[in-house]
Amino acid sequence: MLILGGTGEARALASNLAGDARYRIVSSLAGRTAAPLLPDGAVRRGGFGGTEGLAAYLRDEGVALVVDATHPFAARMSENAAAACSELGLPLARLERPAWRAGPGDDWRMVADAREAARAIPAGARALLTVGGGEIAPFLERGDATFVARMIEPPAIPVPAHCEILLARPPFTVSGEMALMRERAIDMLVTKNSGGAATAAKLEAARGLRLPVLMIARPQKSPAPSAATIAEMLALIDRTLG
């Protein structure tokens, strides 16, 4: 079984399957993070070389099932997995945490991608960015706004003076997020709809401080049998592989 990972859910799944003698598990990490949290069991790091490379790996290794447990915004990897599995006639299952949903007191403005989010920020705003280092470039072009960008590792591009980089790894607390927003005089939150509990505190903090949220919608992915929890995925694996 190949687990396309890099998420907390992927690590939890690998941990649950590591002692199951019915399966040989390999977790694949894209290699974008220099010091990732490693799952239990065998780990493969680095890309496959697109759909063709992934298909060759699946064929050569005799993989019986691919579990796509990548980040909800890892659309390219998900599409490569769908195409490779379709080509080889292999089953594909997707483990994906539910998206966040706005509730009473939330002021969300939905946008399609990071570039649209950057355009939607009002001039003079001071925004907290939690979109990752790979997607901050459109925001840095906005010289008429100020940013505090939080990410796990420094970005690969130069950062101008109107953007402060904060390096931190989740989970975060509501009190900590509110303190950060107050200390940095944040008046807008920009984030991706990643879902999950580890980073949801920022949304509660924004609600409590009555701050607007620019919420980047998830990309569309090819349909696949899906599970939202580890227990659901374990049941789906058993049904798929008999």
So what's the pLDDT on residue 37? Answer: 79
What pLDDT does 36 receive? 76
Among 83, 88, 46, smallest CA distance to 63 is for: 88
The first and second tokens of residue 157, run together, are 């591009």
Domains recognised in the chain with CATH numbers:
2-98+221-241 (3.40.50.2000), 108-216 (3.40.50.2000)
Mean pLDDT across 158-174: 95
pLDDT at 223: 93
pLDDT of residue 19: 86
* Top-confidence range, 36-40, 42-46, 176-180: 176-180
Q: Give pLDDT, residue 32.
A: 67
* Dist. CA 178–CA 181, nearest whole Å: 5
Q: How confident is the model at residue 162 (pLDDT cuts 50, 70, 90)?
A: very high
Cβ partners under 8 Å of residue 238, min gap 6: none
Range 197-216 average pLDDT:
97
For a pLDDT cut of 70, what percent of the chain falls above it? 98
pLDDT, one tens digit per residue, over 43-93 is 999 899 999 999 999 999 999 999 999 999 999 999 999 999 999 999 999
34 band by pLDDT with thresholds 50, 70 and 90: low
- Which tokens in the block code for residue 219? 């990309």
Residue type, 183: E
pLDDT for the residue numbered 38: 86
Q: How many CB atoms lie within 10 A of CB 97?
A: 18
pLDDT at residue 35 greater than cutoff 80? no
- pTM of the complete model: 0.88
**Order of strands across the sheet that contains 146-151:** 108-111, 213-216, 188-192, 126-130, 146-151, 163-167
Long-range contacts of 165-170 (CB under 8 A, 24+ apart): 170/198, 170/199
pLDDT single digits (tens) 92-115: 999 999 999 999 999 999 999 999
